[in-house]
C-alpha cells in the first residue's frame, strides 16, 4: 500500500515540475501572447487539478502504467507547446496563427488521456496478454466501467431508424410478426414460405425508410440486440391489424391456399440493457418498469427473417 501512495506522489510531483517549468516559457512571450498563453495554461492546469481531486486518473495511474505515463506526458508536453509558441512568435509567425495552433494543442492535452495509448498498446499485445490484462482489470477495485465495452461500437453500427425500433421494443414490448405460407392439402405435406417476417414494427416505430425494415431487423439480430421467436404473443388481438395490412393481404392472395403463421420479435437481455444504458436517460432507464421480453432459446436464438 505504501508503494501505491508513493507512485501517486511521484505522478503529482511530475505534474508540479511541468507547471514550474512552464512559467519561464510564458514569461518569454511578448505582451498579448503572454496573457493568452497564461490563460490557456491556467485553464488546462485547473482541469488537471479538478481531475486529480476526483481521484480517477491518479487512482488509475497506480495500477495502469499507460495512465501514469499520460499524466507525466501532459505536464511536460504543455511546457513544450508554450515554448514552441514563444519561438514561433519571435521568428515572425503571425500572433493569431501561433495562438490558434498552441491553443488547439493545449485543448488536446486536456482530453481524457490513456485511451489512444492503451489502444496502441493492445495492438502490440498477444491475445493471451490481452486476456491477462482483462482479468487484471476485473480485479481492480478502482475500475468504474459500467457499460459493456461493445456498446460504443454498436452505436456506430446503428441507423437512426434502428434506434427507433429498439425504443419501440423497449417501451412497447414484444411485437407481432407473421409468415405467409402455402396451406391446404398440399401445404399439410409440403408448405412453402411465401412472405416471411411481415410486421408493423417500422410504422409503429416511426421509421423514415419503411422499405429498409427487414434490413434493419437483420442488423439488429446480427448485433445480438433482438431475436425472432416462433411463438405467438398471448393476445391474438395484436395480430388483427398486422394481418389486415396490404403486404400481408397481397402475399395471401398470391397463392390459392394461404396460411398465416404468427410469430413475435423480442429484445434479447443484452439488447434490453443496451437500450436502458444508451437510448433512454438515466432517470427513466433506472426508474421505469418496461414490458417483459421472452428469453431466446439455447443454443439457437432464432433465425432472422429474410427481406421480402
- Spell out a b/e string for 13-26, using b for 16 or more CB atoms within 10 Å of the CB, else e: ebbeebbebbeebb
Q: Would you state the pLDDT for residue 110?
A: 54
| Selection from 55-69, 179-193, 294-308 with the highest mean pLDDT | 179-193
pLDDT recorded at residue 113: 47
Is residue 241 scored above 60 in pLDDT? yes
pLDDT band, residue 265 (cuts 50/70/90): very high
Percent of the chain with pLDDT over 70: 54
Q: Which residue has the higher pLDDT, 284 or 153?
A: 153
Distances, alpha carbon 177 to alpha carbons 165, 200, 214, 230, 233, in Å: 14, 8, 12, 10, 9
The per-residue pLDDT for range 12-66, each reduced to its tens digit, is 554 455 545 545 554 555 554 554 555 555 555 545 554 444 455 555 655 566 6
pLDDT of residue 8: 45
User: What is the distance between the alpha carbons of residues 290 and 169, in angstroms, rounded to a whole number?
Assistant: 9
Chain mean pLDDT for the chain: 75
Distances (CA, A) of 18 to 8, 30, 300: 16, 21, 58
Predicted pLDDT of residue 247: 94
Residue 185: predicted pLDDT: 75
Cell 521568428 sits at which residue? 91
| Neighbouring residues of 206: CB distance < 8 A, sequence distance ≥ 6 | 164
Please give the pLDDT value at position 133.
80
* Confidence at 202, pLDDT banded by 50, 70, 90: very high
pLDDT above 90: residue 242: yes
The whole-number pLDDT of residue 191 equals: 87
Query: Is the Cβ–Cβ distance between 264 and 177 less than 8 Å?
Result: yes
**Cβ-contact 221, 154 below 8 angstroms:** no
- Position 187 scores a pLDDT of 64
267-297 pLDDT, tens digit each: 999 999 999 989 988 766 666 789 999 999 8
Length in residues, the chain: 308
Contact between 196 and 305 (Cβ < 8 Å): yes
pLDDT tier for residue 167 given thresholds of 50, 70 and 90: very high
- For residue 10, pLDDT over 80 is answered with no
Which of 124-128, 184-188, 197-201, 253-257 is the most confident on average?
197-201
Backbone angles phi, psi at 235, to 5 degrees: -90, 110
Choose among 194, 199, 173: nearest CA to 290. Answer: 173
pLDDT tens by residue, 94-145: 766 666 666 666 655 555 544 555 566 666 678 888 788 878 877 776 666 6
Amino acid at each position: 500500500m505504501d508503494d501505491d501512495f508513493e507512485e501517486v506522489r511521484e505522478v503529482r510531483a511530475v505534474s508540479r515540475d511541468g507547471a514550474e517549468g512552464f512559467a519561464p516559457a510564458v514569461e518569454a512571450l511578448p505582451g498579448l501572447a503572454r496573457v493568452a498563453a497564461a490563460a490557456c495554461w491556467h485553464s488546462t492546469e485547473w482541469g488537471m487539478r479538478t481531475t486529480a481531486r476526483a481521484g480517477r486518473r491518479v487512482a488509475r495511474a497506480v495500477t495502469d502504467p499507460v495512465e501514469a505515463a499520460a499524466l507525466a506526458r501532459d505536464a511536460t508536453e504543455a511546457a513544450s507547446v508554450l515554448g514552441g509558441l514563444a519561438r514561433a512568435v519571435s521568428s515572425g509567425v503571425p500572433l493569431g496563427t501561433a495562438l490558434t495552433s498552441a491553443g488547439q494543442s493545449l485543448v488536446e492535452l486536456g482530453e481524457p488521456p490513456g485511451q489512444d495509448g492503451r489502444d496502441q498498446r493492445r495492438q502490440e499485445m498477444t491475445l493471451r496478454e490481452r486476456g491477462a490484462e482483462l482479468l487484471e482489470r476485473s480485479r481492480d477495485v478502482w475500475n468504474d466501467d459500467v457499460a459493456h465495452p461493445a456498446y460504443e461500437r454498436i452505436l456506430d453500427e446503428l441507423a437512426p431508424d434502428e434506434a427507433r425500433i429498439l425504443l419501440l421494443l423497449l417501451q412497447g414490448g414484444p411485437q407481432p410478426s407473421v409468415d405467409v405460407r402455402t396451406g391446404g392439402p398440399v401445404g399439410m405435406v409440403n408448405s412453402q414460405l411465401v412472405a416471411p417476417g411481415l410486421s408493423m414494427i417500422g410504422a409503429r416505430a416511426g421509421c423514415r425508410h419503411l422499405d429498409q425494415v427487414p434490413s434493419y431487423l437483420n442488423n439488429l439480430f446480427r448485433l445480438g440486440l433482438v431475436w425472432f421467436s416462433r411463438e405467438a404473443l398471448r393476445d391474438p388481438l395484436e395480430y388483427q391489424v398486422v394481418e389486415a395490412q396490404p403486404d400481408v393481404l397481397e402475399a395471401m392472395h398470391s397463392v390459392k391456399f394461404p396460411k398465416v403463421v404468427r410469430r413475435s420479435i423480442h429484445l434479447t437481455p443484452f439488447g434490453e440493457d443496451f437500450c436502458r444504458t444508451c437510448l433512454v436517460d438515466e432517470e427513466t432507464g433506472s426508474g421505469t418498469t418496461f414490458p417483459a421480453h421472452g428469453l431466446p432459446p439455447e443454443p439457437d436464438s432464432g433465425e432472422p427473417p429474410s427481406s421480402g
